[in-house]
Amino acid sequence: QVQLVESGGGLVQAGGSLRLSCAASGRTFSSYAMGWFRQAPGKEREFVATISRSGGDTRYADSVKGRFTISRDNAKNTVYLQMNSLKPEDTAFYYCAGSSTYYSIVSKSYAYWGQGTQVTVSS
């Protein structure tokens, strides 16, 4: 089992950058594929990015491709989401999630979730 805690959210102007971090407890972090999802008010939770256990493979939602980068440091039990060129439509609560199976764009593949961190992008 793994516990996840996100940090790094905040208020930023359009065009700015933020880096989210997700710290995981436990000694088996490298056994989990990790993902980032987001949920805006009145909308369903949506996939943002995912990374394989080794960090060698990543996938992104089309809406963030080229602007966001997911990475992980298994020695630090942490996964990151670097967000550049932020847009007002990126405003949402961002969650990191862990999967013991496969890096996936489907939220149901993830058994472990953090509490989330708010990202607000002003125009």
- Tens of pLDDT along 91-119? 999 999 999 988 899 999 999 999 999 99
Of the pLDDT bands very low, low, confident and very high (cuts 50, 70, 90), residue 67 is very high
Residue 123: alpha-carbon gap to chain centroid = 23
Of the pLDDT bands very low, low, confident and very high (cuts 50, 70, 90), residue 66 is very high
What's residue 101's pLDDT? 86
Q: How far apart are the first and last CA of the chain?
A: 40
Residue 78: alpha-carbon gap to chain centroid = 11
Dig out the tokens for 121 from the structure: 């992008």
Instruction: Answer yes or no: are the C-beta atoms of 97 and 110 closer than 8 Å.
Output: yes
Cα three-residue angle 82-85-90, rounded to 5 degrees: 80
What's residue 26's pLDDT? 77
Of the pLDDT bands very low, low, confident and very high (cuts 50, 70, 90), residue 27 is confident
Share of the chain above pLDDT 70, in %: 100
Q: What average pLDDT does the segment 32-61 reach?
A: 97
Report the C-alpha gap between 29 and 46 in whole angstroms. 23
C-alpha atoms less than 13 angstroms from C-alpha of 79 in its C-beta half-sphere: 35
What's residue 84's pLDDT? 98
Report the C-alpha gap between 35 and 52 in whole angstroms. 9
Q: What average pLDDT does the segment 2-25 reach?
A: 97
Q: Whole-number mean pLDDT of the chain? A: 96
